[in-house]
Structures are given as C-alpha cells and as structure tokens.
Amino acid sequence: MTLWGGRFSEGPDEALWNFTVSHADRRLLAVDVQGSIAHVAGLVKVGLLTAEEGATLTGGLTEIAGEAAAGSFSWHTSDEDVHTAVERRLGELVGEVAGKLHTGRSRNDQVALDIRLYLKQAADERINGILGLVAALEDQAGEHEDTAVPSYTHLQQAQPISLATHLRAHVAALSRDVERFRDAMKRLDVSPLGAGAGGGSRLPLDPAYTAEVLGFSAFFTNTIDAVSARDQATEYLYVATQTFVDLSRLAEDLVLWATTEFGWATFGDAHTTGSSAMPQKKNPDIAELTRGKAASAIGDLTGLLALQKGLPQSYNRDLQQDKEHLFRVDDDLGRALSALTGMIRGADLHPPEPSSWTRALDLAEVLVERGLPFREAHEVVGRLVSRLVSEGRELGDVTAEELVSEHSLFTEADALHP
C-alpha cells in the first residue's frame, strides 16, 4: 500500500519498489504510533477531529502500540514504509475514520519526529550503558589503588603510576561522552510535528501542544528546517562515534594487557573466545571487534555528513538513508558497551612491577627539590642512565654510595636499591 495513489495511472514498477522501499524504519513503529497518538490529541484540541473520532483513532493506535510491544505487528511487504503500515493497520482496526489521521501532517514531519523520539530514548540507554562500564572500571580501580604500573608515552615505559589512575583515564573520557550525549539531547528535544511537508498547513494546528504531549521542551521555529535538518541526528552519531573511538582505546589496552609479553590481565572464559586451530588460544575478541566497529562508526558518521552536503531544502528522499547510518552505529555501541562491561568485570588484573627505569624523572626531581635547575638535573640523571645501560645494569641496581658520588645533592636515602 502507498499513501499517494490518486494522481498515478499505474502502480509502482517492481524495480522502483525494490530500490526505494527501506525496512530500516520498522524499528520506528513504537515511536511512530506515539507520535500519531499525540497528533490525534492535537487535532481534537483544535476541533479538526470530534472527541469521538479522536477516541476511536486513539483506541486503534493504542492497540497497534500493544502489537508493537508484543512483537506481533504484521508487516506487509506492500507497505511503503512504517508510516504507511501504521495507517493501513489503523484502517483495518477502526475503518474509514483512519483516513483522518494524516490531517495536517506529512511523512516529512512525521519521520523527523520519529527519529528525534527514537534517539532521545536511545541516548538514555547509551548513557546508562556508559555508566555501567564506568562503574565496572571504577570497581577495578578501587581494587588497584596500590598496584604500581608504568605509565606509557610512545608505548615506552615512562613513570610509575597506580593502575587505578590508568583505568580512570578511561573513566574520564567516558564521562565526557556521557556529557556529550546529554548535550546532544538538547538539540533533539525539539518537536518538528506541525511543520507538515515543510510549508506548514492552513489548518489551525497546535504544535506547541503536541510538543508538550510528547514531552519535548520546544517545537520548531522554522517549518522548512523542521523537516530537513538532520544535524541533531548527526550530532548524536558523532557522540556515538566519539564514544566508540574512546572504547577502541580502552579495547587496545585490553588487547595489549592480555598478551604474554605484557601479562597484565587475564580475562574470564565467558568473555574471551577460542581458536579453531590452536588449542591454547584465548582471544580478546570483544576488544578487537570494538576497535573494528569503531572503524565502521567513523564510516557511518562520514556517510551521514556526506548525505546532507549540498542537499537542497527541504525534505529529499536521500534523507531516508540517515536511519541506516544511525541505527547501525547505535546498535553496535549498545552491544559493545555491554560486552566490554562484562569483560572488565570478569578481568583479573595482575601487572608486573614497573621497571626501575621509570623512576628516572623522580630522581631528577629530587635534585630539583634541592635547588638544581631541572635542565641540569635531567643531564645528571641522563648521564647516569647512559652509563648503566653500557654496563648492562638498571637504575634499581645503583648503590647508595654510587648515587652520592654521582652528584653532591644526592643522599644515600635516595637510592632505589633496597
């Protein structure tokens, strides 16, 4: 079924149908019905529907909402999109009055509304997912306040830090992602319902009222922008992608930590996978796929931006493609967050002591505290390091007497040697 047969003398060509119909919007069913129920309330309020018509339509839509929740809604391949499917089903349930549902509305403002309703909910879920991961990282950090590890720069051992500090670096980044999701929600929190096809309607609609019924803080300021703007959805996708990039950095740590060479982490059997060939293998696939899906997210974000570049005002069918980019990344992100949370919770972290070389800056700063300019202190310790390397020794091997003879500002107590 289509919602536009009148001016056509023949039905759609099969190839057109196969190319133009997208099922990606089926997941908008629940929010589409929610939007329609509010639209009906608005039409009743302004007198475009009688109270009785409103009650009939709302009854039918509520039944469809039940079918959506139960997963029993029956899709017809002949329905052009989710909006058509709902109107078709409403007709089956309540008869001819279903034809009044689309009064003062277009699929252009309808789909813009659906995306906003959907992403507002999704943002809540993603925020909860991130907070769950943050809680898992915080729990591990709490267990490892006193576990010393080397910090790294250039993937070379740098300074000794607490493993808790390292874990909380990821917490800090993820906390900003939560903030960013909250911020993106502000731009999503504007109802486009009432903008119609883009030029509004001569009917006395009340977009402020429907916005309020749907829990939006505001309604559109411009009808053309309301149906054509996807920057709020793009912002959501950027935040999801940034989160993925942050997750990919955590994932890379986990992959490294699980190596025999690092030996920092053992992950639970339930959170690792095996090799079909090598019986000894236990692979951190969750982390690897997080890196991999972060790459796809970057591609989808780029795709959504490219979709809008140079697009004429206002609605164009190109915009139908927004959903594929959004849903793919959002779904992946939800799954990555819960898989990584399990992996972190099930991890046994047991990093070896950092090498004594990581104390070189500490030693230089001892001299600085005693008045030596940092540049000189750096030289002194640098020369010591160079000599030790040539002797095949480490910083921790330097004896107290040796250290004192290295520079008069050192005392025997400064030696790292036990």
- Shortest CB 107 distance to ligand ARG, Å: 4
Smallest separation (angstroms) from ligand ARG to the CB of 15: 18
Q: Which candidate, 153, 156, 140, places its Cα nearest to that of 268?
A: 140
Residue with Cβ nearer ligand ARG (230 or 359)? 230
Q: Under a CB-based contact definition with an 8 Å cutoff, are residues 90 and 61 in contact?
A: yes
Residue 118: count other Cβ atoms within 10 Å of its Cβ.
Answer: 24
Single-letter code of the amino acid located at 137 = L
- Selecting among 9, 72, 154, 276, the annotated active-site residue is 154
Eight-class DSSP state of 201:
-
DSSP calls for 328-368: HHHHHHHHHHHHHHHHHHT-EE-PPPPPGGGGHHHHHHHHH
Neighbours of 382 (CB within 10 A): 12
Q: How far is the CB of 129 from ligand ARG (least distance, A)?
A: 26
CB closer to ligand ARG, 85 vs 137:
85
The CA dihedral of 105, 108, 112, 117, to the nearest 10 degrees, is 40
Q: In this structure, which amino acid lies at residue 4?
A: W
Classify residue 273 by its DSSP letter: B
| Nearer of residues 150 and 198 to ligand ARG, judged by Cβ | 198
With respect to ligand ARG, which residue has the nearer C-beta, 25 or 246?
A: 25
d(CA 123, CA 164): 28
Active-site choice (23, 74, 76, 275)? 275
Measured from the CB atom, the residue of 20 and 217 that comes closer to ligand ARG is 20
Q: Give whichever of 85 and 415 is closer to ligand ARG, judged by the CB atom.
A: 85
Question: In the complex, what is the shortest distance from the CB of residue 254 to ligand ARG, in angstroms, rounded to a whole number?
Answer: 38
187 with 232: CB under 8 angstroms? yes
Q: Distance (Å, rounded) from C-alpha 192 to C-alpha 307?
A: 20
275 is catalytic: yes
Q: Taking the complex as a whole, how short is the minimal distance between the CB of residue 327 and ligand ARG, in angstroms?
A: 12
Question: Please, which residue, 4 or 374, has the CB nearer to ligand ARG?
Answer: 4
Active site residue 408: no
- The least CB distance from residue 81 to ligand ARG, in Å, is 4
Backbone Cα Rg of the chain: 30
Half-sphere exposure of 61 (CA within 13 A, CB side): 27
Tokens of 408: 């008069």
Least Cβ distance, residue 313 to ligand ARG (angstroms):
14
Binding site for ligand ARG (CB under 6 A): 25, 81, 107-108, 111, 317, 319-320
Place of tokens 């029956």: 74
**DSSP calls for 366-411:** HHHHTT--HHHHHHHHHHHHHHHHHTT--GGG--HHHHHHH-TT--
What are the residue numbers of the active site? 154, 275
